[in-house]
Every structure is written in C-alpha cells, then in structure tokens.
Amino acid sequence: MRFLILLLFISGTSFAATPMETLLNLPIEKRVKEFTDLAGGDKFLRNVAFDKRYGLQARWRALTTMGRWDAALFRHELDRALTSGEWFMRNAALIALQSDERARAVNWSMRLLDDPALVVRTQAVRNLIALDAREAEPKLWEKMFAGTNFHGQESLWVRIHIAEALATFASPQRTRSFQRMLMDPDERLHKWAILGLETATGFKIGDKSEPLEVRRDQWLARLGAQEI
C-alpha cells in the first residue's frame, strides 16, 4: 500500500511552470505524443531529468516519458539514472527500461534487486514479472529470505511482490521452497505459496472458495509439514 501511495504521489502532483513543463502533467500517453511532436522535446526531457532545480515529480516524469518514447534513444540518460544516488531516479529509470531491449531490462532489474531503496527493489521485481524473466528465479528465491527484505523481524512488502514473481515462475524442483514460504509468519505470502505449489506440482487441493488458511493447512498436511 505504501508503495502504491508513493507512486500516486509521484504521478499525481501538479506543478505550475512554463508551457513545456506543463506538458509533464499530462497522462503518459499524451505526454509522449506531445513531446515527440515538439521540436526540442528530447533535449528538454534530458535537461529536466538531471536538473536539481526541478522537483522530484518533474524529473521522475521526464525519465518515464523518455522510456515510453524510445528507451533505446535515451540509453545514456537511463544508464546515468540507474546509477544515480537518488532513489526516485533509479525507480523512474527501471520503469522506463520496460520498453527497452528485454535482455538489457532484465539485467538491470536483477542488479537492482540489491538496491538499498525498498521502492527500487520492489520496482525491479515488478519489472521481472512484466518481462516474464524466469531466468531471475534463483536470485528471487535468494532475495525472498534475504535479511535486507526484513526490518528486524518484520517482513517488508517487497517480499509479497517476490512471492508473486516466484509463483508465476514456479518450477517442479521448488516444491520444498514453496512449503517454506507457506510456513512463513507473513500470511500475505501464503496465497502465492499455494499458487506456486499448484503450478509446480500440477496438483490442486480444495476449492478457492475455501478460506486461505484452510487450504494452507491442507497443503501442509499433504507435504508433511516440517522445519526446513
């Protein structure tokens, strides 16, 4: 929820400015059309993205506009943003990368699973889901239980997104890993663990109309619940 609120804040705030700057307030599709039709639009976006006199919202929107326009055209800028010391620049560049060459987008997204900013790590996972990046499965399992994705004993929200990715990419050899997820204290992971088990084993227990924890207990009984 906090991740959604943050992105709504980034995308929803308006700012008074010059006519060109005002275009950054438009929805993404209209924004791209306006800038591609505008002489010097590309130069303006490049300037805004890295000019700290502009606010976070303007710079974030400039980068995401570049990606939707033509990520390959703006690769130099995206690479610069992906290594920026400012978390929102890395976040915006990851979103922009979704329109770039798949191998490049997957590579950067996997790298930024280690980012210090939680919102950036979460966007990296969302990218991997969108790109159907099954090659990222081993690293995603590593990150599911990594200490960086906990605050003390509290499970951070990025783990829910990782669980969704792993359920999507589920392979038969991961049955015990999904069992571990199903036994996790964070109950938000359990529906993804069940989906992953269904995909990995080709077997379904119970009915989706049943309470989640009933289905969880049925799966644990079948698997022979044990400490892993």
**Alpha-carbon gap, residue 192 to 196, rounded angstroms:** 6
The predicted pLDDT at position 225 comes to 53
The predicted pLDDT at position 84 comes to 97
CB contact set of 139 (below 8 Å; sequence gap of 6+): 110, 113
69 domain-assigned: no
**Alpha-carbon gap, residue 201 to 214, rounded angstroms:** 19
**Alpha-carbon gap, residue 74 to 212, rounded angstroms:** 45
What secondary structure does DSSP assign to 101-122, as a single string? -HHHHHHHHHHGGG-SSHHHHH
5 domain-assigned: no
The predicted pLDDT at position 64 comes to 97
User: Which residues is 155 bridged to in the sheet?
Assistant: 150
pTM of the full structure: 0.87
107 domain-assigned: no
The predicted pLDDT at position 2 comes to 46
What are residue 153's phi and psi, to 5 degrees?
A: -95, -5
Structurally, the chain folds into a number of domains equal to 1
215 domain-assigned: yes
225 domain-assigned: yes
CB contact set of 227 (below 8 Å; sequence gap of 6+): none
| Domain, as residue range, for 216 | 170-228
192 domain-assigned: yes
174 domain-assigned: yes
The predicted pLDDT at position 19 comes to 79
The predicted pLDDT at position 15 comes to 41
The predicted pLDDT at position 90 comes to 98
The predicted pLDDT at position 126 comes to 98
Helix (H, G, I), strand (E, B) or coil at 17: coil
The predicted pLDDT at position 152 comes to 95
The predicted pLDDT at position 207 comes to 79
30 domain-assigned: no
Ranges of the chain with pLDDT below 50: 1-16, 227-228
